Structure 1
Amino acid sequence: MKIALFDSADGAARLGVVDDAAGTLVDVTAALPWPHDPDPVTAGWWRGLCRDFHTLGPALADAAAAGTPVPLSGTAVRAPVLGPSKIVAAASNYADHVAEMHDVQERTLGRVESWMMNFDIFLKAPSSVVGPGASIVLPPDVVAAGHEVHHESELVVVIGRGGRDIPAESALDAVLGFTAGLDITVRSAADRSRRKSYDTFTPLGPWIATADEIGDGSDLDIELVCGGETRQSVNTRDLVVPVAQIVAYASSIMTLNPGDLLFTGAPPGVGPISSGEKLEMSISRIGAMDVTVT
């Protein structure tokens, strides 16, 4: 199942089930078993859905089958998450990206930070999330300082039930599904989390493909195109640490709450973005989204 968040006429967040082959969406908000709170700040209904999707899925499927489809082209689809308690991101999780970062760091820092070449996790600010069609805003201080700002297109895990100390063999039981994300990054000597947490630096979308449809996320094609040029193209089979083990590792450090996000790592091909550019990102079996740079 593909589930999306979209804006109603009054701007409130609603829940939809997507038929991307038909290019349609059905509003299934009324199938939720609790009163719908439209406030994206509180977002309790969304976290409840992430936690309980394993039991709510059939009712949502029935509502989608019985509902009236509307064209996606006329629907204001937003980022497919609300109020995550945290964004966890994996670093150095494609071998070819680790190799290219030696040259990137020599150019942007004048040295190679060897500790950054090892797999680990860090945090991004949830306030950096934007949705499909949004603009990535280059911070004036970063531009004035002459720092490069890079695109990093990634498979993103959306946590379902979550938990602490989750075994790798049952990690997918804790996952709601997958979406596409861009981890926009300033190349400077500042702390990694700071460099990746500016407002608009986490575009997500266009919707979530649930784990029962996608599986373990181990055979998905990621592509990023800018101005007709393919800048990133990789399959998630090349992840050094696969999804289940990332979930297990992250949960050994911190409790993963329903609705949290887990970026799985940047593929090779990262590079600078400039004002006026349009980034087109897609992941097979999930979907595609466009964002612009301003």
Structure 2
Amino acid sequence: MRLALYDDNQLGAVTEAGIVPLSHQLPWPHDPDPLTAGWWRLLCQEYPKLRAELAAASAAGAPQQVATARLRAPVLNPSKVLACASNYAEHVHEMHEVQERTLGEVTSWMMNFDVFLKAPSSISGPAEPIRLPPEVVAAGQEIHHESELVIVLGKGGKDIPTEDALSHVFGYTIGLDITVRGAADRSRRKSYDTFSPTGPWLVTADELTDPGDLDIQLTANGEQRQRVHTSTLITAVPEIISYASRMMTLLPGDLIFTGAPPGVGPINSGDRLHTTISRIGELRLDVV
């Protein structure tokens, strides 16, 4: 299923005819406040038990046009937003030049795969622009786009075996890991408000069964900058989940950005970004 959050964080199924409301089908009260919306984390955890009922309601319900709904980020208040560093070989190669230009040197440890944390408050949705921090712009620092496949965790867990990792996934969505280039810690440079835009909806893992067979593309103002296939991830989705869970307990609704493809580049006020991931959809964002 394609599941969206829209208007006051209502749950809907995205069909060819439009968005079918589903909040009334859940066994818990709908709470529109993202800070207290425990119903969302319960849905992430309990979706396999609710799948058949939600699918039936989606098929029988009356849809509204997607264009009339205000789409929100298809996630609510995760306990953690994790992101993968150096997870495509061509991106690792291009970062040598980027670091020489923006840092004056190459930081070797940053060329190795690892995971780091981003602030959950950096999440934004399809209807919100990416807002560049005025002080960063005034300082002349580059701010880059990084289009990525994003994992939304289902039942979570600790020390998850690689062979069981995909059973812990609720779904997948499109995300951009917006990044200030500079000497500060990754989390510091990637956690500004609107620096984790996601959307336009998520595709549940029962429909998207192979996250290693997806095409990712990004254009800026109509110019193609990024194009990659997820089969070329250095650390694939199951290994990412297992690795992260050895360091910290993953909880329902947590997000994992799987890594930047090659072709990262600067964004500026007035730019229009367009990211597509096959079998998920497209995300169009303005930069202000």
Q: Shorter-chain-normalised TM-score: which range? A: over 0.9
Q: What are structure 1's unaligned runs of at least 5 residues?
A: none
Partner amino acid, structure 1, of 2:3: I
Letter in 2 for 1:5: L
8 Å contact from structure 2 (residues 17, 63) kept in 1: no
Find the residue that maps to 1:78 and give its secondary structure: coil
Letter in 2 for 1:255: T
Which residue is 1:208 aligned to? Answer: 202
One-letter amino acid matched to 2:59: A
Distance in 2 between residues matched to 1:79 and 1:13, nearest whole Å? 9
* Pairing 1:96–2:90 present: yes
TM-score computed with the length of structure 2 as normaliser: 0.99
Match of 1:16 in 2: 12
Matched, 1:139 2:129: no
Q: Report the more deviating stretch, 197-206 or 131-140.
A: 131-140
For 1:1-294, what aligned pairs fall within 5 Å after superposition? 1-7=1-7, 12-19=8-15, 22-294=16-288
Q: Is the 8 A contact 1:23 1:71 kept in 2?
A: yes
Q: For residues 32 and 287 of structure 2, what CA distance do their matches in structure 1 show?
A: 29
Range moving further from structure 2, 132-141 or 201-210: 132-141
Partner letter of residue 5 of structure 2?
L
For residues 173-212 of structure 1, the C-alpha deviation after alignment (integer angstroms, 9 at most, x for no partner) is 1100100000000001011100000001010001011111
What is the one-letter code of the residue matched to 1:6?
A: Y
C-alpha separation in 1, matches of 2:243 and 2:218:
28
Residue deviations 1:253-287 (CA, integer Å, cap 9, x gap)? 00110000000000000000000001011100001
Cα distance, 1:23 vs. partner? 5.0
Between the aligned partners of 1:271 and 1:39, the Cα distance in structure 2 is: 35
CA distance in structure 1 between the partners assigned to 2:67 and 2:109 by the alignment: 45
Q: CA separation in 2, counterparts of 1:102 and 1:231? A: 18
Query: Does structure 2 retain, via aligned residues, the 8 Å contact 1:218–1:237?
Result: yes
1:78-134 CA-to-partner distances (Å, cap 9, x unmatched) read 100001001010100000000000000000000000000000000000000110131
CA positional deviation for 1:73? 1.2
Distance 2:86 2:282 in 1: 24
Write the deviation string for residues 200-229 of structure 1: whole angstroms up to 9, x where unpaired.
101000101111111130010101111110
State the SS of the aligned residue for 1:223: strand
Distance 1:98 1:218 in 2: 19
The offset of 1:70, in angstroms, is 1.1
2:284 maps to amino acid: D
Deviation at 1:62, TM superposition (A): 1.0
Whole-Å separation in 2 of the counterparts to 1:183 and 1:133: 17
Counterpart-to-counterpart distance in 1, 2:157 and 2:114: 19
SS in 1 for 2:206: helix
Equivalent-residue separation in structure 2 for 1:181 and 1:114 (angstroms): 26
- Verify the 8 A CA contact 1:133 1:289 in the aligned structure 2: no
Give SS of 1:77's match.
Answer: coil
Larger displacement relative to structure 2 (215-224 or 90-99): 215-224
Q: Distance in 1 between matches of 2:233 and 2:145?
A: 18
Q: CA separation in 2, counterparts of 1:84 and 1:269? A: 28
Per the alignment, in what secondary structure is the counterpart of residue 273 of structure 2?
Answer: strand
Task: Report % sequence identity.
Answer: 62
Across the two proteins, how many residue pairs are aligned to each other?
A: 288
Higher alpha-carbon deviation: 35-44 or 273-282? 35-44
